[in-house]
Structure 1
Amino acid sequence: MLKHKEYRREGPDYRFGEQVSFNDIKHTFGLNHIRLGRWVEKDERDKAANLIFDSLADLAFILKLPPHALGLRQTLNLAFGSGGQKGVQAHYVPAHRELALAKNAGAGALAHEFWHAFDHYISSKAYFTSPVGHSFASSCWLADVSQIKHPLNQRLEQVFTVALLSHDGDDTHDFVNRAVALDKHYGGQYFAKPTELMARAFEACIESYPDISNPYLVNETLNSSLAIAGGYPTLEHRQLIFPALIAYFEPLGVALGHENQAGILTEITALNDEI
C-alpha cells in the first residue's frame, strides 16, 4: 500500500507547481463525472487532485494521446474515496463506467484500472458483441467474436496477439502459462482471465517507460511478490508489447485530435452563422 506521503514521482511538470482541482481533472481529461467521498477532507482532496492529474497526464504522454481522450468520449466516471471495497486499492465498475480509487490506498492501481475501463469501452467499437456476449474487447478477442473491420481494430488485435500468444502465434505465450499456474496455485480463476492478463501487461509497459516514474499511476510490476512469481510480462516481452500499444494508441490519438478539431470548427461555424 502506497500512502500519499510516500509518493515520489519523476517526470514532466504539467502543472508548473500549481494546485489543481478535481474540476480541472474533469475538463482536462474529458471525464463525464467525478464523485468524491463525503469523508474526504480538503487537504486530502488537494493532494489527490495533484496526484491524479499528474498520473493521467503521464498516461496520456506515454500513450501519445490528447489528454481529453482519456475520458473515453466523456463516458468515463471517476470516484475518489467513495464506494470503495475493503482491502482493494481501486476497481472499475462496468455498470457505471466508473473508475474508483480508494482514499488512502489507490496509489499504484490507476493504470491497471484505466485499461479495464478502456477494454470495456472499446469492445462495442471493435467487435460485434451480442446482448449476452462479452463486454470487454480482450474477452471478445479470446472468444473469436467477429471483428468490426477497421485498421485501428486490426492494430488492437495485434496488441492482444503480441501480449497473449507465442511468437509464431500457434500457442499461448509463457506469460499466459504462468498466469494459469498462478490460478492453480491459488485455487481460483483470476490471473489467467484475458481482462486481467491485458491489464497487467498494460500497466507493466507503462511502468517500464523510461524517464517517467510515477508510483501513483503504476507500481510494483517489477519487484513485487507477484512480479517475482511471474505475474507480469518479462522485460523482453514488454519491449514487444509496448510498440504494439503505441502503434494502436498513437493513430487513435491523431484521429481523436482531428475529430476534436473538427468539432471546434463546427462550433465556430455555427456561432458565425448565428452572428
Structure 2
Amino acid sequence: MNQQINLFAEAVQTSKEDIRSEKQQNRKVAYDVGVKIGGSRKDEAALRKAFLENHTVTSLEELEGLSPLLASSLVKKEELFSGFSLEAEKELGTEPVVARVKQLVIQRIDKEPAIDSPEERKSYMLACENIQSILKTITTLDEFLSTYYEIRKRIHYENTDCTYTLNKIKVSERVINRVNEGFAEWMEAKDTFDHYSNLLAKITEAKNLPLRCLGKKFVNFFLNAKSGNNTINTVKKSVTSWEDLLKKKSNKNTSKKSTKLWERTFAERPDRAGGIESSVRKPEDLQRKHGFRSIEFGHYVDDAKAEEHILRSSEGFYDLCDALDLDHYYAVSLNANLSVSFGSRGRGQALGHFDANAKVINLTRDKGCNGVLAHEFFHALDNYLFDYSHSHKNGKIGFATELSGLGILNPTIRDCIQNLMDAIKSGHSKEYIPNKNKEGDSWRISTGLTSVYERLNGDLFLVMDHFKKQFDKSLERRLSMVHYLNSNSEKDKEKILKRNKRELNKYAQAVAWLHQKQTGERVDSIPCPSDKSEFFTNAVTLDRGKIKYYATDVELAARAFEAFIEDTLKSMNRKNDYLVYHTSHSLAYPNGEQRKKINTAFKAFFQALKKIELL
C-alpha cells in the first residue's frame, strides 16, 4: 500500500507551476497548490462575457474543447437572449404590442438544448442567434405578421423531402436544353425551373439552419395558426400603450417567510476519537497524502484558520477511507479529479457545497468545520459516477443517484444504486392529503363508503387504507393491460399513475366531508398509507409538501450517507465531528429499521465500487 501511495503522489505532483495569487505570496499556509482550478465567479464572468460578445461557431468549439460543462451553462436561452428587454424595444421604436409578442415568442423557446451534445448546442445557439437577428428588424405588427408566415414556411421546409423538387428541376432543365428559347414550352419550363430552384434553395437553407431545435412550444406557435392568432389577439386587447406594458405588478404577497423545520446543529468544537494521527500541516501535504488535484484558499482565510482546516480535513478524509474500508487514502480524490477549497467559493448561508462545474468541495472559512465534509464528498462521488458513465465527455451536470441520464455503467454498480435509492425512498409510511373541501361543498356518498367508515369507527387512516388497497389492485390490472397491449408504454403508465393519484385524492376529500358530517370535526388533512419511506415523506415535509430540495434524490442520498458514516464510525468506537455530526434528527435523517436497511445498501454499493476498482 505504501508503494502505491508514493507512486500516486509523484504522479499528482508533476505540475510545479506556482499558482499563488498576489495576496498569498507571503503566507505560510493559506496558499493554493496543484493545478489552478478556475471556474471561480470571476473566471466564469470573464468567459461568459467573451462568449456572449462573440457567438460564433469557432468560439463555441473552443469552449467545448475547454469544458463541455461550461459550454452547456452558457448555451442557454437566458444567456443568448440577455440583450432583449422591453425597455430596449421601446428605444428602438417598436410598437408595444409587437414588443410583447416578441417577448412571448422568446418565452416559448426551450431554456436549453433538448439533447446534451456539442452538435445540439451548436444548432440551438445558431437558431437562437438567427431568431434574435430576425426579431431585431421588426417594429410594426404588419412586419411581424409577414415574418410570422415566412418562419412558418421555413419550419415546414425543414421536414420537406427534396425528391419531388429535384425531379421537377431535372425535367424542366431537359426541356430548356431541348427546346429553342422563346417558345411557349421553353418559357413554361423556365418558369418551372426558376420556381423549384428557388424552393430548393429555401429548403436547403431551412435544413442547414433548423428552428425545430428551439422546442415544441416555439414550433407550435408558428405551425398552429390558432395558437399564434390567439396570442396576438390577446396581446392586442391587453396592451394599448407602453404604460400598460411597463407598469410593474404590485407585490400582493406580504406574508413572512416560514421558519425552517430543521437546521443543522453544530459542535462547539469539533471532536475526534480514534483514527490515524495526521502529519498534514501544509496544503502540499494535503494534496500529496490524498491525491487531490488542487487545494485552494480564499483571500480572507488566514494562516491559523487554514492550518486548522488542513489538519481537520485530512483527519476527516483518513476516517472516511477507514469507514468505507478503502485500500488507500488517495481514493477520496476520485482518481485525482477532485479539488478542495476553503473559504473561496461560499454561496449564501451554506456551510459547504460541491461545485460540480469545477469538481471542487468548498468548506466555508468559519462554519465549514461543522460536520458537512461527508455530505459534500458523497455529492462529489455521485457526480463523478455520472461523469464516468459518459466517459467524462458530458456537457450537463448529473448525479448517478438520479438514475435518469446515466450513460454506460457497470450493471452491478447500476443495480447497487437502484437498490440504494429503493431503500431510501420505498417503504411504509403515512402521507397527509390536504382537506380542500369548502363550506357548502357536498358529496354523494355511497353506502359502501358509509359502511366502511362506520365499521372502522371513523378511523380515517384505516378507512383510507381499506380503499387504497382496492385502488392498488385496480392500478395493477390497468398497468398489466397497458403492458400487454403496448410494449412501449411508459407514457401510458405515467398517465395511469397520475389518474390513480387523482382518484385517491378525490376519495380522500369525500372521506373528510363524511367525517365532518358525522362528527362535526373538520380535519386539516387526511392520513393515507403510502409506499414511500418515512425518510422520504419527512423530507417532503421539510420541503413544505413539494419535492424542491430536501426530498430530491441527490440530497436524500447525501444525508443518508452522513448517517451511514456516523453509524460506521460509532461501530468502530470512533467519531469525527468535522466529517459528520449529529444525524439523529427525526425529519432530516433515516431512523430505525430503515436506517439499517440503507446502511446495508451503502455497504454493498461501496464493496462493488472497490471490486471493480472505481474507488
TM-score range, shorter chain: 0.7 to 0.9
Question: Is 1:137 the equivalent of 2:400?
Answer: yes
1:145 CA drift (Å): 5.4
Which of 574, 597, 602 matches 1:240? 597
Q: 1:149 to 1:39 in 2, by over 3 A?
A: closer
**Contact 1:126–1:153 under 8 Å retained in 2:** no
**Map 1:175-190 → 2, pairs under 5 A:** 175-184=535-544, 189-190=548-549
Structure with greater contact order relative to length (CA < 8 Å, sep ≥ 6): 1
**Contact 1:89–1:102 under 8 Å retained in 2:** yes
Distance in 2 (CA, whole Å) between partners of 1:19 and 1:70 is 16
Letter in 2 for 1:243: T
Determine the structure 1 residue equivalent to 2:576. Answer: 214
1:238 CA drift (Å): 2.1
**Contact 2:276–2:318 under 8 Å retained in 1:** no
Distance in 1 (CA, whole Å) between partners of 2:281 and 2:318 is 13
Distance in 1 (CA, whole Å) between partners of 2:543 and 2:266 is 26
Q: TM-score, normalised by structure 2?
A: 0.37
Letter in 2 for 1:240: K
What is the CA deviation profile of residues 63-107 of structure 1, one whole-angstrom value per residue up to 9, with x for unaligned ones? 112221111111111111212124221011111111100011012
What is the CA deviation profile of residues 150-207 of structure 1, one whole-angstrom value per residue up to 9, with x for unaligned ones? 323322322222222228xx9322211111122126x771111111111111111112
Question: Is 1:7 the equivalent of 2:270?
Answer: yes
1:131 CA drift (Å): 5.7
Distance in 1 (CA, whole Å) between partners of 2:595 and 2:613 is 26
Which of 242, 256, 261 matches 2:613? 256
Q: 1:82 to 1:130 in 2, by over 3 A?
A: closer
Q: TM-score, normalised by structure 1?
A: 0.79
User: RMSD between aligned alpha carbons?
Assistant: 2.8
Structure 1 counterpart SS, 2:344: coil
**Contact 2:280–2:314 under 8 Å retained in 1:** no
**Contact 1:60–1:70 under 8 Å retained in 2:** yes
Determine the structure 1 residue equivalent to 2:359. Answer: 97
Which of 560, 582, 587 matches 1:201? 560
Letter in 1 for 2:324: L
Distance in 2 (CA, whole Å) between partners of 1:194 and 1:25 is 31
Determine the structure 2 residue equivalent to 1:110. Answer: 373
Question: Is 1:36 the equivalent of 2:297?
Answer: yes
Q: Report the identity percentage.
A: 27
Which of 532, 557, 574 matches 1:172? 532
Q: 1:56 to 1:197 in 2, by over 3 A?
A: same
Distance in 1 (CA, whole Å) between partners of 2:579 and 2:309 is 12
Long gaps (5+) in structure 1:
260-275
Determine the structure 1 residue equivalent to 2:337. Answer: 75
Q: Mean alpha-carbon deviation: is it higher for 208-217 or for 50-59?
A: 208-217
Q: Mean alpha-carbon deviation: is it higher for 29-38 or for 128-137?
A: 128-137
Distance in 2 (CA, whole Å) between partners of 1:129 and 1:28 is 25
Distance in 1 (CA, whole Å) between partners of 2:381 and 2:588 is 21
Structure 1 counterpart SS, 2:300: coil
1:130 CA drift (Å): 10
1:147 CA drift (Å): 6.3
Determine the structure 1 residue equivalent to 2:194. Answer: none
Larger radius of gyration: 2
Distance in 2 (CA, whole Å) between partners of 1:184 and 1:244 is 28
**Contact 2:293–2:339 under 8 Å retained in 1:** yes
Q: Mean alpha-carbon deviation: is it higher for 129-138 or for 6-15?
A: 129-138
Determine the structure 2 residue equivalent to 1:270. Answer: none
Which of 424, 433, 438 matches 1:163? 424
**Contact 1:159–1:244 under 8 Å retained in 2:** yes
**Contact 1:129–1:145 under 8 Å retained in 2:** no
**Contact 1:83–1:100 under 8 Å retained in 2:** yes
